[in-house]
Structure 1
Amino acid sequence: MQKGAEAVHAANPDVLVILSGLNFDKDLSFLRQRPINLTFSGKLVFEIHRYSFTDGKSWETGNPNQVCGQVVNDIMSRGGFLLDQGYPLFVSEFGADQRGTNVNDNRYFNCFLGLAAELDFDWALWTLVGSYYLREGVVGLNEVYGVMDWNWCDIRNSSFLKRISTVQSPFQGPGYNESRSHKLIFHPMTGLCVRRISFFQPLELGPCSESDAWDYTPTKTLTLTGTYFCLQADKSGQPAKLGIMCTNSNSKWQAISDSKMHLSSKLQDGTNLCLDVDSKNVVFTNTCKCLSKDKTCDPASQWFKIIDSTRKQNTTKSFFQSKQIAQFLGNTFSYIL
């Protein structure tokens, strides 16, 4: 491996050198005990592959939260740890059956997309092609993992493409210091982020480029950056809301379950609720579902990731927004009095 890296560098000192993992390119854990020693620096990239079938049928036969937690831990122990050492990690192969009927792939992809947004690693999707002249002895084999359809004339699954487009550009890193570091609330199932339309409309999902910037405080409150407004749970089945009384338990949000993607808050009566999203992309709170054991339950609508970003955030201010804030505060204090 080291000889190969030195040979590539000698041939062209201006290119990145990519080193692959072992065992179908999924394992770089040997680097913990045997780090690479090279004559050059600043251009080394490590790569891994990951698919649903890397873990057999676990996604289909197990509880998605528990499997997601196990797979994330495995990825981190086999390669993700290199990010903490300052190396770029390139997931050079991943993908899913784009027909949308493969339960194993669907569950895996929701988990993987959350991890991709959180770690902000580079990736390459398998695959662009829609079909093959000849593969595995089959003429015109249909590639169900392909972005293109069988005829190569159209997109096979436009919603899939929209989801991965969110993580095509880095959320942070060199060249993306467009604003100070802040948080986004990312929803892997849709590839969208939580955003505020106004102070009088429910929070909803929308393009992450149009999301508000959030701060996640040590006391586990999610506040709109530069304001006193925080995310609050109200009642089960009701939209999540913004408020300014941010010391109560219904203003605290904690990542629970093995997947660490359920954002849970506790009401005054002790009821635990989780963020959820409805068919119109309105963000509301509901009973936390599929936390463990049940393999038939799909928690994807309740999976959210609080991720770091230095992308330019939505900071649009207007006279009308100022009036909304004043009216909102007036209504709030009138209610308190």
Structure 2
Amino acid sequence: MQKGAEAVHSANPNVLVILSGLKYDRDLSFLLNKPVTLTFSKKLVYELHWYGFSNGQAWATGNPNQVCGQLVAETASKAGFLLDQGYPLFVSEFGVDMRGTNVNDNRYLNCFMGWAAELDVDWALWALTGSYYIREGVVGYEETYGVYNWNWCDVRNQTTLHKISALQYPLRGPGYTERRPHKILFHPMTGLCVKRCIRTPYKTQYNLHRHHFKWEAVSDSKMHLSSKLEDGTIVCLDVDSDNNVVTNNCKCLDNKNNKCDPASQWFKLIDSTRCGADKSFFLEINSVLKLVANNFLSSFGL
């Protein structure tokens, strides 16, 4: 590894040097005990690959909250620690079945989106190709992970592409200090962020303008944001089919349940130093309960 890095640097001292890991580039943990020693600095990048199938069918057969929590922790121990050491971590391969019918991939992507947005990592998507001249001995082999469809004439899945495009927007880092650090509430399933208004089906039962509710991250995924109402009812933030933020009963908190999908209730608080993105980056919320939203956001220091 050192010899290869030094060879690249010698050939061109002006380019970044990217180093890969083991086990299909999923494991860089060996660097904990044997860090790379080089003659140059400030241009070394480590890369990581992460797909839904990297862990077999774990997403489809397990509870998404539990699987997400376990695999995010695993990724932190095998690669994420490099960020704490000051190195850039480049997710040089990730992707999903763009047909949208692969449960394993769909569940994985929602977790990946929250993780990638929180860490603000750079990435490369597999793949652009819609098909190949020949692959694995098959002429016209279809690339179901491709952005384009088989004949390269249209985007295969506009919804998924729009969702992933949220990660193209740098949230912080060198050159992006446009304002003081602040929090953004990100919704991985849609790839959108939340404005400062929240609609609740409990508004006819409680005077929410007079009460402050404490919100906390629950479930193994740490992406359910939950609060207890006056009567003891536990509710979680949710997004309905019209992209309104609402509160509903929390779902999929039972780790034995692998049939439900909690993605609509997954939110991630992320740090940003940007002034704000295009309006299409934000969930549209029609509620006028601004005080409720302010109470919620202030409970997280926003």
1:289 corresponds to 2:251: yes
Structure 1 distance, partners of 2:150, 2:180, is 44
Identify the residue that residue 258 of structure 1 maps to in structure 2.
220
Letter in 2 for 1:299: P
Q: CA deviation at 1:257?
A: 0.4
1:98 corresponds to 2:98: yes
Identify the residue that residue 115 of structure 1 maps to in structure 2.
115
Q: What is the aligned length? A: 279
In the TM superposition, 1:1-337 aligns within 5 A as 1-196=1-196, 203=198, 235=202, 243=209, 248=212, 250=213, 252-291=214-253, 292-313=255-276
Q: CA deviation at 1:69?
A: 0.5
8 Å contact from structure 2 (residues 201, 248) kept in 1: no
TM-score with structure 2 setting the length: 0.88
Tell me the SS of whatever aligns to 2:19: strand
Q: CA deviation at 1:153?
A: 1.1
Letter in 2 for 1:93: E
Letter in 1 for 2:7: A
Structure 2 distance, partners of 1:89, 1:140, is 35
Structure 2 distance, partners of 1:235, 1:33, is 53
Superposition CA RMSD, Å: 2.2
Tell me the SS of whatever aligns to 1:117: helix
Structure 2 distance, partners of 1:242, 1:312, is 30
Structure 2 stretches of 5 or more lacking a match?
A: 280-287, 292-302
Q: CA deviation at 1:268?
A: 1.6
Look at both structures and tell me which one has the larger radius of gyration over its CA atoms. Answer: 1
Q: Deviations over 1:260-286 (max 9, x none)?
A: 000011112222110001111111101
8 Å contact from structure 1 (residues 276, 302) kept in 2: yes
Tell me the SS of whatever aligns to 2:176: coil
Letter in 2 for 1:146: G
**Identity across the alignment (%):** 67
Letter in 2 for 1:284: V
TM-score with structure 1 setting the length: 0.79
Q: CA deviation at 1:87?
A: 0.4
Structure 2 distance, partners of 1:195, 1:241, is 21
Letter in 1 for 2:104: N
Tell me the SS of whatever aligns to 1:4: helix
Tell me the SS of whatever aligns to 1:167: helix
Q: CA deviation at 1:242?
A: 8.0
Tell me the SS of whatever aligns to 2:168: coil
Q: Deviations over 1:115-146 (max 9, x none)?
A: 00001111000000000000011110111100
Tell me the SS of whatever aligns to 1:286: strand
Tell me the SS of whatever aligns to 1:279: coil
Q: CA deviation at 1:234?
A: 6.8
Runs of 4+ residues over 3 Å off in structure 1: 240-243
8 Å contact from structure 1 (residues 234, 241) kept in 2: no
